[in-house]
Structure 1
Amino acid sequence: MAGVLEGLSDEQARRRLVPSLTCPLAIVKHATFVEQVWFHVSLAGRTRAELGLPEAAEDSWVLTDDDTVASVLAAYRTACAEAVEIAAGCASLDDLARHNRRGPLTLRWIYAHLVRELARHAGHGDILREQILAADA
């Protein structure tokens, strides 16, 4: 996911080429939210409120004036490192995430879900990045 922002300025990373909130910076910000929801909330049992996360996933795409390539990348890398630590505390891939809105799900299911979701977002980000860089060449 970090590669989506590689070589982009803050202005380029915020550039929207579609009507939705989707832009490279928002994609990585949303990926940070996804890591935190699945590992901190679902597995570790923390609340969205204590993590400062929005209740609605669509709100994770909203950028603030403080969001920069550097700050969003730092938050993403931190969320990923913490997710690895949380998952390492599980005994097996069959451990259950009990704090999920969908009910108990295995760590195996979470990994498969994240591969699908993040691969899709990374693909969208790669296309947007390529279009932005080509337009500015």
Structure 2
Amino acid sequence: MASKAQKYPDLWVDPEDDPRESATSTATDERSVLVEYLRHFRLTFEMKCEGLDAEQMARRSVEPSTMSLLGLLRHLAAVEQTWFRITMVNEDVPRLWGKDDERDADFDGAVADDVVVAEAWEAWRREVAYAVEFVERAESLEVVSTHATRGPITVRELLVHMIEEYARHCGHADLIRERIDGRTGQ
């Protein structure tokens, strides 16, 4: 299927085709604003990885860094799991990629393999869906985490932290993607 020509080839996508923009967005209360910002950055990250093969996803940024888009994807899946599933709900699950045993397993295991890429996308989508559902169910932004050793954090603080986490990594993704194929982000 041929893609249509962009009106603004210097942009990632034309504004009317940008999935991050919602003409129906009426986010006026605090929770809706925070959720919308986090949604925006999650979609931005996903767009930065769009259309890449396993080798491109696993390509390292610059030596000696182990950072890659695939590593970032795996890292963000682990971050989602750690904060929402483990910290907020206190689920007793092993951390993704073996991060219980090796801190940098998300980046170190990001190898150019179609199965590894597919598993990373599956884990990320599963953990994002869990997080979205958790926030929707939370009685208020004042709900506090239940994990015994990670220290208390409210849903409000967690949403702000996740926005910061994604914004920072979207910046990394911009630079990595530009190095892969010259595309720059909006």
Deviates more, 1:24-33 or 1:42-51: 42-51
Deviates more, 1:41-50 or 1:18-27: 41-50
Say yes or no: does 1:24 pair with 2:69.
Answer: yes
Aligned residue in 2 for 1:112: 160
Cα shift readout 1:26-69 (whole Å, capped 9, x = no counterpart): 1011000000111000111113427665225433323255412x
* RMSD, matched Cα: 2.2
Count the aligned residue pairs: 134
SS at match of 1:67: helix
Structure 1 CA distance, aligned partners of 2:95 and 2:79?
15
Structure 2 segments unaligned to the other structure (5+ residues): 1-44
User: Contact between 1:13 and 1:23, CA under 8 Å: does it hold in 2?
Assistant: yes
Say yes or no: does 1:62 pair with 2:77.
Answer: no
The TM-score normalised by the length of structure 2 is 0.64
Structure 1 segments unaligned to the other structure (5+ residues): none
> Which 4+ runs in 1 deviate beyond 6 A?
none
Out of 7, 24, 49, the position equivalent to 2:51 is 7
Percent identical: 34
Could you say if the C-alpha distance between residues 100 and 125 of structure 1 is closer, same or farther in structure 2, counting changes exceeding 3 Å?
farther
